[in-house]
Amino acid sequence: MKEKIITTNKNGMAMLIFIIIAYLVAIPLIPIGLSSCTGIGTVLGVISIIWVLLGWILALGLKVLKPQEALVLTLFGKYRGTLKGDGFFWVNPFCTAFNPAAATKLRQSGDVAGDSGSMFALSSGTGSDVTSLQLSPASKKISLKIMTLNNNKQKINDCLGNPIEIGIAVMWRVTDTAKAVFEVDNYKEYLSLQCDTALRNIVRLYPYDVAENVDTTGDGIADEGSLRGSSEIVAGRIRDEIQEKVQIAGIEIIEARITYLAYAPEIAAAMLQRQQASAVVDARKLIVDGAVGMVEMALEQLSEKNVVELDDERKAAMVSNLLVVLCGNHDAQPVVNSGSLY
């Protein structure tokens, strides 16, 4: 289905003025025509009655569009075209607006809601107490603005089998109204489903954190890709995956962002202990490396300055004592030895 833009119907104000003038003329002509004895007067009276009874049908063709809104019109089941751009339009009153996703409300911004399909809508009240009388069904307008879809968090297994919870926000907009309305049943639900599917397809390729011997790019070479450390790359792949799926629906995916990322509750405590243990090991390794360097420096300076001559056994005892002091978790509490070293 190819989109057809209607550009020749921006004459709503002229039609509104015509309808009002016609009613102002027809209503006084009814009694005059019925009381007239001439044939012309009778005809004018009949025409006036018909206009008063049926003239309101023309008003159903009046449409008001704000910037970044569109209206897909069908005439007796056939696609008539799409109204785009802000303005006051008049179309064939038998044309109907079609949007199967009009009543669908996802966790997203930018929906067109609350407007009437035609211009005749009356409202009264102040503040939050508002009552409205609409002469037409709920709005069938399609928003062309950039919208943000924030799907629910999903529980997915990463490439190592660890269950994680992840959520994404997708910025998107409709670029082809005909495809969005006619190619899929409900383009909003279709987009939401494709977001969930693409998220699963990409997340299962990555570990939560950097892991050894894991290929995330598919080139057969292990890399350091991870969900936590390569969020920009992961989001880009998710965006491309979604765009490929929703191209048929006339939707453009502008950006995808990871909004939530964490281990699933059932393994979160164990993974926290693992991270803590890894941090402790790394810290201990750093402390030992520093302690060995300090002991080596101390022995070298003692030897260079001839402060004291130590044999191998005394050096071993000194190294042991220094390592205990430097690597311990508590401050050293020295014991003064007033006797010999032996």
Q: What is the pLDDT of residues 149-191, one digit of tens each?
A: 988 888 888 888 888 899 999 999 999 999 999 999 999 999 9
**What band does 117 get if pLDDT is binned at 50, 70 and 90?**
very low
Average pLDDT on 122-135 reads: 38
Q: How far apart are CA 117 and CA 298, in angstroms?
A: 87
Rounded Cα gap, residues 72 and 96, in angstroms: 8
* 66 φ, ψ (degrees, to nearest 5): -90, 170
Residue 312 clears pLDDT 60, i.e. is over it: yes
Note if the pTM is more than 0.85: no
Instruction: Provide, rounded to the nearest whole percent, the portion of the chain with pLDDT above 70.
Output: 82
Of residues 318 and 19, more confidence is placed in 19
What is the pLDDT, as a whole number, of residue 25?
Answer: 87
Over residues 281-308, the pLDDT tens digits come to: 777 788 788 878 887 887 777 777 776 6
DSSP-assigned letters across all residues of 52-70: HHHTHHHHTTEEEE-TTEE
10 Å CB burial of residue 170 (0-12, 13-18, 19+) is buried
